[in-house]
Structure 1
Amino acid sequence: MVNRPYPVIDLFAGPGGLGEGFTSLIHHKKYFFETMVSIERDAFAHRTLLLRHFFRNFDPHKPPKEYYEYLAGNRPFDDFKKIYPEQWTEACNSALKISLGEESREEVKKIISRKLGEHKKWVLVGGPPCQAYSLVGRSRRAKDPDFEHDEKHFLYKEYLKIITDHTPPVFVMENVKGLLSATVNNEPVIQKIIHDLSQPKKAVGRSDNGLSYKLYSLCEHVEFKEEVDPTSFVVKAESYGVPQARHRMFILGIRSDLNVVPEILHKRSAPSVDRVIGTMPKIRSGISKGTDNPERWQNLLFEAPKNRWFKTISVTNDNYSKILDEYFVAGFPSEKFSNRYTEPEVMQDWYCDDNLNILTLHESRSHMESDLYRYLFASSYSKIFKTSPKLSDFPDELLPQHKNVEAGRKGKMFADRFRVQLPDRVSTTITSHISKDGHYYIHYDPSQCRSLTVREAARLQTFPDNYHFEGPRTSQYHQVGNAVPPYLARQIAEIIKDVLDRMLED
């Protein structure tokens, strides 16, 4: 049992998903981990981190009432500094807005050294920006001559340099599954990263080769060597209780002079989308052009049966008409926003907070009229056939005027451009693309005709309901999509705690 929390140094922290998982590991009012430094360069994600660090500076069972007043919109952000100067200053000293790189390296080195002090047992976590490695990102930039020289290919080197500067006993590096197939100059990126992480000083050009790490999977009992299949690094979040099919790489490194072999994650069933977000208040989407009010929105849906596309599909399957008739009787939602708090069906201990009596960030986006009909069709189709439609299933009149549509209809690319999140399954991967449009994240309820809200996406990412995302809505979506699910991170933290506990006994 530790007498004081183990320090966490969190690099490329985003909104703090990894750090949240570690700091949520609490027993008898005792934190097992403390995030001493979180570094993020995006201004809005940093503001989110700052707020969460402030929240974590209080007894977990005695949070400040002013925090909830802020969430309710009844108190300005700047009040925290005035009312709780000590906790606010501490948060400002741990959540840092810094762009990692050569220019900031000495500053970061001093900050981490000062924060760690005499601590010998701590963990370094983080995931270098991964957009350049992602399968979607790479397909979009395949013909870009600057692609192989993108800084995101090599930002993991900053992670390596911090390892060499501070020699952590344990590190956890997270990245996208696309690393497995990424190449630079026709050489596999993953093999280079494995080699570099094993011998970080050599990788950054230092002559002293005394520092080395053993690399482990979080889901298989294997130590990684050159002959080991790197797909064992991939963690499927839905296998560990996360209501989302999210497959990411996690590399666990333990310094070679330590005689500790880590445990692995234990599988647990994941709840369905409906059990996580189904109790949330029903809201309607907005209308992006022209008058946006409940009357016009409902009239558009009432007009749907008069459209040619609806008549065409109803001829072959009258279930579409039955679904719409059901909502004509029951009524459609009229508001685009709701702060009425409702608990999810499952994982209340994880999501809920007895002090929280409002729902935040549950506001819909606005959509074009044509997209309202596409969402109506897609969600109705999924309700009838228990699967999300492909472009080839859409009536011709609802197909977007896009150059790739015909290829999509033939299944060659983006065939699932409009994807419904099915209620009885885990969701598909919540990515940063959700910040651009909602086509891949359509709510399964035809009566709402909309994409997921920030709070719904955050729940599917397993952020607690009291976790607030700062900035405009586009940034909030982006933060949620780029984060590590905190519920998964907490399970990783349990493994790291066990490693550090056993190190104390050595």
Structure 2
Amino acid sequence: MTLNLIDLFSGAGGLTEGFSTHNEFNILGHVEKDYSASLTLKVRETFHYLKKKKKLKVYRDYLNNKIDLDTLFKHVPSSILDKVINEEISQNTLTKIFEELDSKIQNNKVHGIIGGPPCQAYSTIGRAINIKKKESDERIYLYKFYIKFLEKYNPDFFIFENVKGLLSFKDTNGKLLLPQIKRDFEKSGYKIKYEVINTKFFDVAQSRERIIIFGSKKEFNDFPTLFFNFLNNKKSSKIPTVHEAFCGLPNLKNGEINNNYTTEKNKYINKYIRTTRNLPLTQNIARPHNERDLKIYKLVSFAKQSGINLKYNELEQSLKTHKHDDKFLDRYKALKWDEPAHTIVAHIAKDGHHYIHPDIRQNRSITVREAARLQGFPDDFYFEQSRTAAFTQIGNAVPPILSQKFSETIFEIYNNLF
């Protein structure tokens, strides 16, 4: 049985990746407003197509800069690339998006819709700043567009992912938004259940708490409860560490590039990260840093390996550049080898101060590839178009390893019940 999905607010495709790796699921279309992320989605669709056709040499040539993007895309039917709809979901674009999706869906049944609207509006980070623009922040009610897709395509189930801050977020009337979202989903014919999931318990080398809302048509009464029961049975007894996730990556100094694997491997890398043979390492480029930051990085990383989170106000005066050293005390943060990473967020696109490499000798912030591994992306996943765009896509993504657990869970339930 093949289950057809629509992917909304797709980003780079972290949520769909776990479904794309299973032949039992078919992605009918992605909708994503960001151009760079849309290109990443097209490249990923190309990868899966070429892998299925045993033509990965073409993809390898692209990664090795032997062919350009246009040449890569010429090896793929337009119907594959056209799955990606580069549009912002809004009242003005809804009819156009529906028309494009209808042309791809044709007479196929849509079994599921997956995705999560941009989370910045609900996040506790920057909430004090965002409150000033809450009245005009359209992101707050993007979930209502999600419901329009449910009403039009009538899927059996949906997965809605967002930040934990949604639990405490209040709307423009000062009322908690989540109960309203729940009521609106139920009015559209769905029974829902939600839980806060920490990805570190699901084989992701990162502590990342997200709220997962799972809904199903009311005639599938037990589906939401079964989803979380089956999912929680997939929790791992061992939490992966930064050390495990970085295995096989070469040493780098700040400003250096090294896309050559070492000979090291481990079970974690073999299972989740290096899942395709004979492809090169990519996007393993270290940012350049100024001398002041390098001194701070070394101090913060050294303290972290001793279990201490060095605060900004504890730095010597000569290293401080901000007058108010009583604010943003965790301006610099290091990773620790024997723990999962703290949450990777899109701010990593602006600087790497929150993600200092645990190896004091390397003394730098992490690369795109290292961030991707901590977010659970396989090494064969390539992010378009720039380092900044890649970091943004990674920080906003659902970890593919977690979405793989979602896909396994859903397929098991379908096999058992339907």
Q: Which runs of structure 2 are paired with 1:133-172 in the superposition (5 Å)? A: 133-142=122-131, 144=132, 146-172=133-159
Q: CA separation in 1, counterparts of 2:107 and 2:388? A: 41
Q: From the superposition, tell whether residues 357 and 168 of structure 1 become closer, same or farther in structure 2 (CA, over 3 Å).
A: closer
- Larger-gyration structure (1/2): 1
* Aligned ranges 1:299-448 → 2 under 5 Å: 336-342=256-262, 344-347=265-268, 348-383=270-305, 385-398=306-319, 400-405=320-325, 407-408=326-327, 414-448=328-362
- In the alignment, the residues of structure 2 paired with residue 361 and residue 346 of structure 1 have an alpha-carbon distance, to the nearest angstrom, of 23
Offset at 1:403?
A: 3.6
CA distance in 1: counterparts of 2:100 and 2:140, whole angstroms: 26
TM value normalised by structure 2: 0.93
1:256 to 2:218 alignment: yes
Cα deviation for residue 120 of structure 1 reads 3.3
CA-CA distance at 1:502 after TM superposition: 4.6
Shift, 1:77, TM fit: 1.1
Q: What is the deviation of 1:401?
A: 1.8
The letter of the residue matching 2:280 is I
Q: Is the 8 A contact 2:62 2:72 kept in 1?
A: no
1:78 is matched with 70
Going from structure 1 to structure 2, the CA distance change for 1:18 and 1:33 (only over 3 Å counts) comes to: same
Distance 1:63 1:245 in 2: 36
Structure 1 residues 279 and 140, CA, compared in 2 at 3 Å: closer, same or farther?
Answer: farther
Q: Which amino acid is the alignment partner of residue 463 of structure 1?
A: F
Task: Quote the residue 2:56 is aligned against.
Answer: 64
Show CA shifts across 1:379-410 (max 9, x none). 12223x23332224423332x221431x14xx
**Are 2:114 and 1:125 aligned?**
yes
Q: Structure 1 432/344 Cα, relative in aligned 2: closer, same or farther at 3 Å?
A: farther
Q: Secondary structure of the residue that 2:227 maps to in structure 1?
A: coil
Match of 2:16 among 13, 16, 19: 19
Residues 63-103 of structure 1: CA deviation (Å, up to 9, x unaligned): 42010111112221111233x2xx34122221121111112
> Which of 192, 196, 205 pairs up with 1:243?
205
Superposed displacement of residue 469, structure 1: 0.1
Residue 260 of structure 1 deviates from its aligned partner by: 4.2
Question: RMSD across aligned C-alpha pairs, in angstroms?
Answer: 1.8
Taking a change above 3 Å as real, the CA distance of residues 53 and 46 of structure 1, as seen in their structure-2 partners, is same
SS of the aligned residue for 1:62 comes to: coil
Deviation track 1:231-275 (CA, whole Å, cap 9, x = no partner) reads xx2111111111100001110001002244323312112210011
Taking the aligned partners of 1:198 and 1:281, their CA distance within structure 2 comes to 51
Q: C-alpha offsets along residues 273-292 of structure 1, whole Å, 9 cap, x if unaligned?
A: 01111431111113xxxxxx
State the distance in 2 between where 1:190 and 1:258 align: 22
Q: Percent of aligned positions with the same letter in both sequences? A: 34
Residue 259 (structure 2) pairs with residue 267 (structure 1): no
What are structure 2's unaligned runs of at least 5 residues? none
* Alpha-carbon distance in 2 for matches of 1:449, 1:281: 14
Give 1:191's aligned residue.
179
Within 2, Cα distance between the matches of 1:394 and 1:165?
57
Counterpart secondary structure, 1:162: helix
110-119 or 420-429: which moved more? 110-119
SS in 2 for 1:135: coil
Q: Distance in 2 between matches of 1:149 and 1:430?
A: 28
C-alpha change, 1:81 and 1:272, in structure 2 (3 Å) is closer
- Note the alpha carbon deviations across 1:123-163, whole angstroms, 9 max, x for none: 10001111111111313333x2x223201111111101111
Task: State the shift of 1:191 in Å.
Answer: 1.0
Cα gap change, 1:372 to 1:486, in 2 (>3 Å): same
SS at match of 1:174: strand
Shift of the alpha carbon at 1:62?
Answer: 2.0
Per the alignment, residue 245 of structure 2 pairs with 276
- In 1, Cα distance between the equivalents of 2:279 and 2:307? 34
TM-score (norm 1): 0.77
Question: What SS does the aligned partner of 2:243 have?
Answer: helix
CA displacement, residues 210-231 of structure 1 (integer Å, 9 cap, x when unaligned) = xx111124xxxxxxxxxxxxxx
- Which piece of structure 1 moves more, 472-481 or 107-116? 107-116
The question of whether the paired residues in 2 share the 8 Å contact of 1:141 and 1:147 is answered with yes
Structure 1 unmatched ranges of 5 or more: 26-30, 201-211, 218-232, 287-335, 409-413
- Residues 421, 428 of structure 1: 8 Å contact kept: yes
The one-letter code of the counterpart of 1:387 is I
Matches of 1:272 and 1:476 in 2, distance apart?
23
Cα distance change, pair 41–338 in 1 and its aligned pair in 2 (3 A): same
Whether the 8 Å contact between 2:4 and 2:109 is mirrored in structure 1 is no
Is 1:378–1:419's contact at 8 Å kept on the other side of the alignment? Answer: yes
Change (3 A) 1:354 1:174: closer
Residues of 2 paired with 1:106 and 1:97: CA distance? Answer: 14
